[in-house]
């Protein structure tokens, strides 16, 4: 098993355990590895250290939020040049996160202001930030890294997929597209999957997303088809340990009539190839 989305301490938000504790839980569960994510800092160094000490394939990356300069080519170059494999477009500082009233770093200090981040088509073509977006996309292509859409809108996800295909990016993951942000419907998800996007469903959605049900997630899984990726997105103190959270998701989708073997591949071989092959 290989989990592409897990959170650990230290972090801005409370987490169920530190890197080494989370790693120990995956080792005990027989996982081959996981992707360590943080909204407000690079996890590349943390992942490298944990991989060396644990023997697991622990992978780091960078989320393009305000703490790293937003959609910042210099931060992306640094992360990918030191072993990072995953770049998430804006998550906690996306304009959709702000509109949905979900947690942001500025919640800790109002002096930061409420500035939010976006990519085209929300950004106008002549916005100076578009140049940085293009640079970041080219860096992802050059390093054969994974582009994750983060919490941007459905229109931005579509634009990112178009640009990824145009620029030769071969690893593209829609970050929990049926979550509150971006809130995509199954038919739209199916269209993007048919065009080459992998589609993430997370245990966090099952455990914490208002109004989400196993049946709705099963519809998304069917829309994703062979490009389905199951992940925990766990690490919260009110969630099970991440490996147990992912097992709960697999069990819930199996109960909805999906093939358990295919579900396990969506939590093992498919994500591992997406990130590491």
Query: What pLDDT sits at residue 177?
Result: 98
Taking only the tens place, the pLDDT of each residue in 60-89 is 999 999 999 999 999 999 999 999 999 999
SS3 at position 218: helix
Taking only the tens place, the pLDDT of each residue in 108-160 is 999 999 899 999 999 999 999 999 999 999 999 999 999 999 999 999 999 99
179, exposed or middle or buried, with CB in 10 Å at 0-12, 13-18, 19+? buried
Domain limits of the chain? 2-276
Find where tokens 């809130």 sit.
183
The conformation of residue 17, written as its DSSP 8-state character, comes to S
The closest of 159, 163, 127, 164 to 145, measured between CA atoms, is: 164
Q: For the chain, what is the mean pLDDT? A: 97
Please answer whether residues 43 and 68 qualify as being in contact, where contact means their C-beta atoms are separated by less than 8 angstroms.
no
Query: What pLDDT sits at residue 269?
Result: 98
Architecture of domain 2-276: Alpha-Beta Barrel (3.20)
Q: What is the DSSP string of 85-145?
A: -EEEPPSTTBHHHHHHT---GGGG-GGG----B--TTTS-TT-THHHHHHHHHHHHHHTT-
Confidence of residue 239 (pLDDT cuts 50, 70, 90): very high
Looking at the DSSP bridge assignments, the partners of residue 23 are none
Query: What pLDDT sits at residue 29?
Result: 98
- Positive or negative, the CA dihedral 88, 82, 38, 94 is negative
Average pLDDT in the 204-216 region? 98
């Amino acid at each position: 098993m290989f989990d592409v989305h897990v959170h650990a301490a230290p972090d801005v938000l409370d987490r169920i355990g530190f890197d080494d504790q989370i790693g120990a839980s995956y080792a005990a569960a027989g996982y081959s590895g996981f992707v360590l994510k943080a909204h407000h800092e690079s996890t590349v160094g943390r992942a490298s250290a944990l991989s060396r000490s644990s023997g697991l394939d622990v992978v780091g990356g960078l989320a393009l939020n305000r703490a790293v300069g937003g959609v910042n080519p210099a931060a992306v170059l640094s992360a990918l040049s030191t072993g990072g494999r995953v770049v998430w477009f804006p998550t906690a500082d996306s304009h959709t996160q702000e509109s949905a009233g979900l947690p942001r770093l500025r919640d800790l200090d109002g002096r930061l202001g409420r500035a939010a981040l976006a990519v085209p088509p929300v950004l106008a073509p002549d916005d100076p930030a578009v140049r940085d977006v293009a640079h970041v996309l080219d860096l992802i292509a050059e390093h054969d890294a994974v582009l994750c859409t983060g919490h941007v809108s459905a229109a931005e996800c579509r634009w990112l997929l178009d640009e990824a295909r145009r620029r030769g990016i071969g690893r593209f993951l829609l970050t929990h597209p049926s979550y509150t942000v971006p809130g995509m419907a199954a038919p739209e998800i199916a269209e993007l999957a048919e065009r080459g996007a992998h589609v993430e469903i997370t245990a966090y959605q099952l455990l914490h997303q208002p109004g989400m049900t196993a049946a709705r997630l099963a519809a998304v899984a069917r829309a994703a088809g062979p490009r389905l990726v199951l992940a925990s997105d766990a690490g919260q103190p009110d969630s099970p340990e991440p490996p147990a959270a992912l097992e709960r998701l697999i069990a819930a989708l199996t109960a909805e009539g999906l093939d358990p073997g295919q579900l396990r591949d969506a939590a093992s071989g498919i994500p591992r190839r997406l990130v590491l092959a």
